[in-house]
Amino acid sequence: MPIIKSTNANEFIEITLSSSKHYADPFNEVELDAIFSDPAGRTVRIPAFWAGNNTWRFRYSSAVLGLHRYVTECSDTSNESLHQVSGEIDILAYSGNNPLFRHGALRVADDHRHFSHADGTPFFWLGDTWWMGLCKRLAWPEQFKKITDDRKNKGFNVVQIVAGLYPDMPAFDERGTNETGFPWQQDYSCINPEFFDAADRRIMHLVDQSIVPCILGSWGFHLPWLGIEKMKQHWRYIIARWGALPVVWAASGEQTMPWYLSDDKQNEKLLLKREWTKVIRFIKQIDGFQRLITTHPHQSARESVDDPNLLDFEMQQTGHSNLTELHAAKASEGWNSKPIMPVISAEARYEALSISPTVTTRDVRQAFWAHLLNSGCAGHTYGANGVWQVNQADRPFGKSPGGNNWGNLPWNEAMQLIGSSQLAAAKRFLQNLPWYNLQGISQPKSWFSNLLSLMISTKSAVAAAASPDGTLALYYLLDENPIVIDMQRFSAEVYASWIDPSNGDKKAISDKPYINKGKFKFSPSGKNSDGDSDWVLLLATKQY
């Protein structure tokens, strides 16, 4: 008789199988899948993972209530303990408060510009960057849980994290170990299940705290070292471990950036683009859960692959030292590029990054607003230097292979940098608005090229976004110069307010609305609470 187990909607369940047959090299000799059929008649194939010794596991989740049946397929069809094993899983209604289970994993919203949960509930992406958060330098459980609590309390809901093959270090650098060692044997002959057992605890804790893990399989330059077939094995293992969770995939970090000390960077860049495209296509083929996938780029995700249609959304790296206007311009470029998809700045300005000059809170805030509005307000990812590479007070990360030392600020001090609070305040403000209806409208040299940009004149705004129905618009100003707005394209009278971008506070400009005819001049009133001159202007046909 088949085994029947139960779980709640969108929560994963794990099935363990033990092989009665011994293999000399189980990771490489055996490939195991489970084929699930749900009550609606949909069939999906889910990879299993080798868990060490003679043990394999597969994990499954679904939003579809009712009885789900599975049967396994093993590459060794003679192994009756792994092949053609059947069972049933009863999916029950979820009654908890975790939005990742209540509303489901992320998807691209129907407008192809924003994110939502599987049930259509809008999702504003506010990410943080913990590239090396699975290594032992961020100790489990105390330190990992401490920073998770901090980010959750502030409103962060995504964490970028790398599955063991890290940036800024060569392969098998001791700084990349967790409690059990490296993710692979040092000759790449076999994966280390214990590394991923330890990583499981961290990834699952993020999910339990309603934070979406955005998992990068590797930094891009690792692919030539593993080779494409081993990198596919690496990704198959990641999908088997975490695909049943409400995660997002990013194939690799700085995907087309060659190894720092490469003596053939141009050819290596071409190879990385070509081979990583093959890996992304493989990920999409074997991920039965069809989690969102993108890649973290050197500049643009679309430009990092041979076929951008493989990507669900665009990540950009807009530069740690670029002018704010350039962050806005990159956002406009992403908004106007094809295919249409949500656009996120996944790496803009890391707060306190030790470059010349050091990145300030103001820099971080300006990059956020400039990119966010011009890219249509899907969201943004923050980074704090000291957190992403996990500096300890007595053990800073040190130099990268290129000789850079990005700074020695300990992670627990970096966690408290003001920029994270300012971006969290911005999210709270935006969530009082129908932000998911906003579209980027600030397009240098082409502001008046379509109906949407006819709505307003943004001559002194570095970035702007508006709803296409003429009910809401936001403008980001870097200075105290007045901005002139043509009101005729708004659908009704307009209420105007200044928003302090350093704390999200709103101050009405007038108690009465402005008529939606003619032009009006709006002048910022002095400095914001951070002592800077940047402001957000809110114009809306209703009071928020």
My answer on whether omega of the bond before 501 falls inside 30° of 0, hence cis, is no
Q: Is the confidence at residue 455, as pLDDT, over 90? A: no
What is the distance between the alpha carbons of residues 371 and 325, in angstroms, rounded to a whole number?
9
Q: Name the token pair of 59.
A: 């994990």
pLDDT at 453: 40
Q: Name the token pair of 474.
A: 């936001």
Q: Is the confidence at residue 448, as pLDDT, over 50? A: no
Choice among 86-100, 312-326, 439-453, 463-477 with the minimum mean pLDDT:
439-453
* End-to-end Cα distance, the chain: 59
Helices (H), 209-264: 223-226, 228-242
Q: Is the confidence at residue 444, as pLDDT, over 50? A: no
Measured N-to-C along each axis, helices 193-208 and 142-154 cross at an angle, to the nearest 10 degrees, of 30
| pLDDT tens digits for range 228-275 | 999 999 999 999 999 999 999 999 999 999 999 999 999 999 999 999
Choice among 119-123, 132-136, 507-511 with the minimum mean pLDDT:
507-511
Calculate the average pLDDT of the chain: 95
Q: Is the confidence at residue 11, as pLDDT, over 80? A: yes
Q: Is the confidence at residue 451, as pLDDT, over 80? A: no
Q: Is the confidence at residue 375, as pLDDT, over 90? A: yes
pLDDT at 452: 40
- Is 220 strand, coil or helix? helix
Q: Is the confidence at residue 161, as pLDDT, over 80? A: yes
pLDDT at 450: 35
pLDDT at 525: 79
- For residues 314, 293, 106 and 63, what is the CA-based torsion angle, rounded to 10 degrees? 160
| Nearest one of 292, 265, 341, 245 to 14, comparing CA atoms | 245
pLDDT at 456: 43
Domains and CATH numbers, the chain: 3-92 (2.60.40.10), 99-435 (3.20.20.80), 441-540 (2.60.40)
**Cβ burial, residue 12 (10 Å; 0-12/13-18/19+):** buried
Higher pLDDT, 459 or 61: 61
Q: Is the confidence at residue 508, as pLDDT, over 80? A: yes
pLDDT at 489: 82
Q: Give the chain's length.
A: 544
Q: Is the confidence at residue 410, as pLDDT, over 80? A: yes
Q: Name the token pair of 150.
A: 């901090």
CA distances 19 to 5, 76, 83, 109, Å, are 20, 11, 10, 43
| pLDDT tens digits for range 377-405 | 999 999 999 999 999 999 999 999 989 89
**Cβ burial, residue 266 (10 Å; 0-12/13-18/19+):** exposed
| pLDDT tens digits for range 192-206 | 999 999 999 999 999
Rg (CA), the chain: 24
Q: Name the token pair of 151.
A: 């980010």
Note the Cα 1 to chain centre separation in Å.
42
pLDDT at 521: 94
pLDDT at 5: 92
Q: Name the token pair of 487.
A: 């009101």
pLDDT at 2: 59
pLDDT at 442: 64
Q: Is the confidence at residue 445, as pLDDT, over 80? A: no
pLDDT at 3: 62
